[in-house]
Structure 1
Amino acid sequence: MIGSSFAWSNDNAIIDSSTRFHPVMSDSGMVVSQEIFASQVGAEILALGGNAVDAAVATGFALAVTLPRAGNLGGGGFMLIHLAEENKTLSIDYREMAPTEASRDMFLDTEGDVDNAKARFSIQSSGVPGTVAGLLHALDNYGTLSLKQVLQPAIDLARNGFPVSTDLAASLQARQPTLHKNPASKSYFYKADGSGYKYGESLVQSDLAATLERIAKSGKRGFYKGRTAQLIIAEMRRSGGLINHRDLADYRVVERAPICGDYRGNRVCTMPPPSSGGVHMLQMLNILEGWDLQALDHNSAAYIHRLVESMRRAYADRSYYLGDPDFFPVPVAELTDKKYADFLRGQIDLQSASRSKDISPGLASAAAHNQSQVDKLRSIPQESTETTHFSAWDRWGNVVSNTYTLNFSYGNGISVAGAGFLLNNEMDDFSAKPGSPNGYGLIGGAANAIEPKKRPLSSMTPTIVFNRDGAPVLATGSPGGSTIITVVMQMILNIVDFDMNVAEATAAPRIHHQWLPDRVFYESGVSADTLGLLRGMGHQLSDKTRRLGATESIQSDGSTPFLYGTADHRRDGSGVAVPAAD
């Protein structure tokens, strides 16, 4: 609830949900996530002497228990890490991979059209999970505590149960028709009579606890081989899925150099492909850097116009140039070059809106977009609460920004019987057919076509910002499908250009445009006068407001040990947790 505040503690952690405009402060480290029990787990790990990586990994596994619609063992994601002592920043790609039996046209029907039900809600929509491998890779290489120490809180939450929040109860009620279709999901998330859990009732997940215990005992082998792997393959065979034993055994995490760019003297580091978020956020920042945004006033019509026109061009490029860099030569340097941004800025009329049908991918000579396809895209689905982000920062200055997902809320709704966790539907993030929109209305082409062992393109954009002296000053990220990139960018703009604190930057109303459909989406709080001016400039506005993203952020001034954290009020149940004082 906006403006609400609550706090409680145990031996090792204090949790506080921040008010709308005042961040939580700490000088002993901090974890911010979408679910308060998971934040508390991370703070407990910091109190035990663990570093930010230990806390992040513990938080990630805890979210698999307490936030089942997005926290996961059966999905994948991206982690950005800054190591203070080495002054090194790195990214970990643990995105799902297409099974070896996947094929380019696997989601097309006999007429050659995309079968959306198959692409989004069948077991064939599941890619090979990467979360367990990714979190363990981070812990093994950059953590300090043992695997058992880090996993035990999640095991306890699953084995002993935790009180259901109003948010979780409402989420399970909303997804009941989908989850009831799968016997395992129905048994895991609803009572024996099929009814939903109410606020305060305990949710126990014994099969999930056993799976977590196998991971704690055997590490990666405890998930990708042995009993858990057998259960996954049994589910595949029972339901017609594609993942086999070799797919699981061959899953690999990839460490990639983050992509970094300068924005008004700050260094912005974020995820490289197969995330599209980093490339296009830097591209948009490069365009916007050419204007004095502060002089325009925050969320004025002139300001929003510049944001929209920058977004329009970046998302057009996303449709053509972005994919898995292990399969497609993504032109990262060209897209993030400031001279290219100068060119795009020069195409923007500051008095009137462009039409998306007139904007094509800007590098080289991409063909004009097919008008019939433009006409088909009138709206995109309401944002789901599928993806989740968390940030961790320790007293030594190590920082983690992590976003991971099942794709849709509760993935494809199918759980692995006997293992206690849901499967993802990330195969829908591939371009099932060039020019056809995915579940978020995003267009893709050959660069993101389905291929065995390929990683689907993602909008996830975990980000760390550094000041002129090289000190980290912001860790942030967001859920929100196609809106993630623009939401994270607006957090940076709010702090850098408008000197907001992290709570003010989080609370400020957001806007979004993604080339197609040609609509400006906006949150409540953008003034009616501003909306009228935008319409007068020719912008096509959504007919109603919507919620855009949910950043979970930590800020530092770069010169003192104090941290300032804010959990986004747009998601009920999120919270900031700090280690309890000795």
Structure 2
Amino acid sequence: MHNPAWQHAPARPFRRPLAALLLAGALVLPGMAGAQMPDPELASPFNPRPLVEAKSDMVVAANPLAVEAGHEMLRQGGSAVDAAIAVQLVLGLVEPQSSGLGGGGYMMIWDPAAKALISLDGRETAPAGAKADRFLGPDGKPMPLMRAFDGGRAVGTPGIPALLADAHRRFGKLPWATLFQPAIRLARDGFTVTPRLSLLLTQLTPLLKDRPDMVALFFHKGPDGVLTPLQAGETFRNPALAHTMEVLAAQGADAFYHGALGHDLTRHLADGALLPTPARDAPALVTDQDLAAYQVEDREPLCAPYRQWKVCSMGPSSSGGIAILEMLGLLEHFDMKGLGQGSPTAWHLMVEASRLAYADRDLYVGDPAFIKVPTKGLLDREYLADRARQIDPAHAAQGPVAAGTPPQKQGALYGPGWQADIPSTSHMSLMDKDGMSVSFTTSVEFAFGSGMAVDGYVLNNQLTDFSFIPTAAGTGLPVANAVAPGKRPRSSMAPTIVFDQAGKPVLVVGSPGGPAIIGYVAETIIAALDWGLDAQAAVSLPRIVNRNGTTALESGPWAPPLKAGLEALGQTVELKSMPSGLHVIKRTATGLQGGVDPRREGLAAGD
């Protein structure tokens, strides 16, 4: 039954500043693989949004200026891919804490002319000289997170320039240089700093003030030497980034991977490199050779039926698609529509499916170039039916559940690893008048990445997405997500497109949120499909995720009754802020709906 109390906007609980948590070591809990970490992407005040509807095209992303740039490309006759590129270039300027040229991402594209679904892996890679013990301290234990950032240790070879270039080569309509013009103009002329960017800079000042690159870009230094971060409402210009984009617009991605821009990056890393110690060598850094060797991978999309729909998402190196499809495959055995959004049992079932999917994800998924991921086995219908029988609609599982044994499991046995899981990410969803659809998730990992920047853009710290331990404690088994040269760290990013029985996209969806992305996207698919909610209502629901431990439930005035209902079913529930950034397009009989996550600063626009 519908519960109107659950429609209230979630309130924001008091949280210690992120910098205080980091400095206190609260983000680094070696040996606690299932530990729930605070998110670096702080939740903005919950701002209810109206449903946006359009007839022929739609752009939904995390910043109004980025959406405006993408929509401008569509009005010039560009494709959804052209628009996505323009959106990303602006996001790297106005939302540098989340994504940019120094990061990576995954893009899923539906090409209606060819009736083809393409998924592009632009994830960062480890340097050729990287070793499995990269994030172990002298005592053989995982090093504190902020130590992992030192000297460029966490920086992977960026993938965004290559990803944008590859997508444009295959699906672009407008000239490459045209797509850069809105971002270049904003970088030269300036844009108004948003409250979210200002808040993050303020919260992270205790950390960023010791990072010269961050100070040079985002802080004012007073005559007394006191640093003040950019304030909401002031105009920020980034001429260095404008120049970088002008070079890329004129010379293409080769300027980054084989030219002066790339050499600027590697030289900057070398200038800040750590020195070797008697205990160990200095970590290998990204080199010109690593940049020259980088390639975007064209992955086979992962697709599976969910009731009368087909859900398609990103495959490995991301774990997001596998886990979402596993969750949906488990929940297909329960009447989610009949239970409805007002039933604690429906939310309990999502939690229990989440436990099982995360258990499998944590054990089996990594870069498929390095390990044999049992993808088909994990999505096997009989395997999922067997796993679904482990879910008790009336009682929660006690303690972490074990990973399953899927059919077609091949190769070596793997043990559980440990990683920090603290991403800063952005997602956009787009559809053009021809029906081309793009779901694109992009990231620099932590807020402001590694705390290093070059030529006006932030460098990622994506290598901390690897397991900090290369072998599992107790068993000595290798960890699927261990560091290796040229390897892509496991991600949870999950750009997703859902198709109807006629083969047309009905839902374009994705979110930031680190490992919680899996739960965010699965919940939104259920809300839009099983519960029939419009795009805006679906992204405005309270968030709930269980990563095979405690159930995290978004705080709000509606939370107490749901928390009580879940606890009556045996769940251990923690109320917390859960800053998703879901951006959704839903196709209906009358047109398109755009849903903007009210926890962020985004916008939906269409014609």
TM-score by length of 2: 0.85
- What residue number does 1:221 align with? 254
Offset at residue 519 of structure 1 (A): 3.6
Offset at residue 387 of structure 1 (A): 0.5
Q: C-alpha offsets along residues 44-88 of structure 1, whole Å, 9 cap, x if unaligned?
A: 111111010000011011111110001211010100000111111
- What residue number does 2:599 align with? 570
Matched, 1:268 2:296: no
Instruction: Choose the corresponding residue for 2:172, options 98, 123, 143.
Output: 143
Q: In 1, are the aligned partners of 2:156 and 2:461 still within 8 Å (CA)?
A: yes
Q: C-alpha offsets along residues 454-491 of structure 1, whole Å, 9 cap, x if unaligned?
A: 10100000001111111111111000001001100111
CA distance change for structure 1 residues 445 and 264 in 2, over 3 Å: closer, same or farther?
farther
Structure 2, unaligned runs of 5 or more = 1-7, 11-45, 274-283
Q: In 2, are the aligned partners of 1:42 and 1:577 still within 8 Å (CA)?
A: no
* Correspondences of 1:425-440 after superposition (within 5 Å): 425-434=461-470
Q: In 1, are the aligned partners of 2:364 and 2:480 still within 8 Å (CA)?
A: yes
Instruction: Choose the corresponding residue for 2:456, options 420, 431, 441.
Output: 420
Q: C-alpha offsets along residues 412-449 of structure 1, whole Å, 9 cap, x if unaligned?
A: 11112xx1111111111111215789xxxxxx962111
Q: Which moved more, 1:52-61 or 1:221-230?
A: 221-230
Instruction: Choose the corresponding residue for 1:212, options 224, 245, 248.
Output: 245
Which one-letter code corresponds to 1:325 in the other structure? P
Q: In 1, are the aligned partners of 2:423 and 2:445 still within 8 Å (CA)?
A: no
- What residue number does 1:350 align with? 393
CA distance in 1, matches of 2:391, 2:604: 40
- What residue number does 1:402 align with? 440
CA distance change for structure 1 residues 19 and 229 in 2, over 3 Å: closer, same or farther?
closer
Instruction: Choose the corresponding residue for 1:483, options 516, 524, 539.
Output: 516
Instruction: Choose the corresponding residue for 1:46, options 68, 74, 80.
Output: 74
Is the partner of 1:469 in helix, strand or coil? Answer: coil
Offset at residue 265 of structure 1 (A): 0.8
Which one-letter code corresponds to 1:166 in the other structure? P
CA distance in 1, matches of 2:379, 2:399: 21
CA distance change for structure 1 residues 434 and 548 in 2, over 3 Å: closer, same or farther?
farther
- What residue number does 1:82 align with? 110
Is the partner of 1:125 in helix, strand or coil? Answer: coil
CA distance in 1, matches of 2:151, 2:518: 28
Which one-letter code corresponds to 2:436 in the other structure? N
* Correspondences of 1:148-159 after superposition (within 5 Å): 148-159=177-188
CA distance in 2, matches of 1:403, 1:368: 28
Is the partner of 2:108 in helix, strand or coil? Answer: strand
- What residue number does 2:481 align with? 448
Matched, 1:524 2:556: yes
Q: Which moved more, 1:257-266 or 1:184-193?
A: 184-193
Q: C-alpha offsets along residues 474-523 of structure 1, whole Å, 9 cap, x if unaligned?
A: 111000001001100111000111111111111111210011x3344344
- What residue number does 2:281 align with? none
Instruction: Choose the corresponding residue for 2:100, options 58, 72, 79.
Output: 72
Q: In 1, are the aligned partners of 2:151 and 2:269 still within 8 Å (CA)?
A: no
Matched, 1:247 2:290: yes
Offset at residue 175 of structure 1 (A): 2.0
Offset at residue 538 of structure 1 (A): 2.1
Q: In 2, are the aligned partners of 1:431 and 1:445 still within 8 Å (CA)?
A: no
Is the partner of 2:357 in helix, strand or coil? Answer: helix
CA distance in 1, matches of 2:151, 2:528: 42
Matched, 1:335 2:364: no
Instruction: Choose the corresponding residue for 2:526, options 464, 470, 493.
Output: 493
Instruction: Choose the corresponding residue for 1:55, options 64, 67, 83.
Output: 83
CA distance in 2, matches of 1:52, 1:278: 22
Q: C-alpha offsets along residues 128-151 of structure 1, whole Å, 9 cap, x if unaligned?
A: 000111011101111111111001
Is the partner of 1:274 in helix, strand or coil? Answer: coil
Q: C-alpha offsets along residues 142-165 of structure 1, whole Å, 9 cap, x if unaligned?
A: 111111100111111111111112
CA distance change for structure 1 residues 301 and 507 in 2, over 3 Å: closer, same or farther?
same
Instruction: Choose the corresponding residue for 1:91, options 105, 119, 133.
Output: 119
- What residue number does 1:36 align with? 64
- What residue number does 2:42 align with? none
Q: In 1, are the aligned partners of 2:542 and 2:553 still within 8 Å (CA)?
A: no
Q: C-alpha offsets along residues 193-235 of structure 1, whole Å, 9 cap, x if unaligned?
A: 3322222211110111111111111111121232211211111
Is the partner of 2:438 in helix, strand or coil? Answer: strand
- What residue number does 2:505 align with? 472
CA distance change for structure 1 residues 510 and 181 in 2, over 3 Å: closer, same or farther?
same
Q: Which moved more, 1:186-195 or 1:339-348?
A: 186-195
CA distance change for structure 1 residues 554 and 133 in 2, over 3 Å: closer, same or farther?
same
Instruction: Choose the corresponding residue for 2:321, options 278, 301, 306.
Output: 278
CA distance in 2, matches of 1:299, 1:276: 30
CA distance in 2, matches of 1:531, 1:248: 49
CA distance change for structure 1 residues 470 and 20 in 2, over 3 Å: closer, same or farther?
farther
Instruction: Choose the corresponding residue for 2:571, options 526, 536, 539.
Output: 539
Q: In 2, are the aligned partners of 1:287 and 1:342 still within 8 Å (CA)?
A: yes
Offset at residue 2 of structure 1 (A): 6.6
CA distance in 1, matches of 2:579, 2:510: 12
Is the partner of 1:191 in helix, strand or coil? Answer: strand
- What residue number does 2:154 align with? 125
Identity of aligned residues (%): 34
Which one-letter code corresponds to 2:456 in the other structure? G
Q: CA RMSD in A?
A: 2.5
Which one-letter code corresponds to 2:81 in the other structure? V
* Correspondences of 1:360-371 after superposition (within 5 Å): 360-363=403-406
Offset at residue 19 of structure 1 (A): 7.9
Instruction: Choose the corresponding residue for 1:391, options 402, 421, 429.
Output: 429
Offset at residue 295 of structure 1 (A): 1.9
CA distance in 2, matches of 1:462, 1:369: 27
CA distance in 2, matches of 1:525, 1:284: 28
Q: In 2, are the aligned partners of 1:511 and 1:548 still within 8 Å (CA)?
A: no
CA distance in 2, matches of 1:207, 1:436: 44
Offset at residue 121 of structure 1 (A): 5.2
CA distance change for structure 1 residues 120 and 319 in 2, over 3 Å: closer, same or farther?
farther
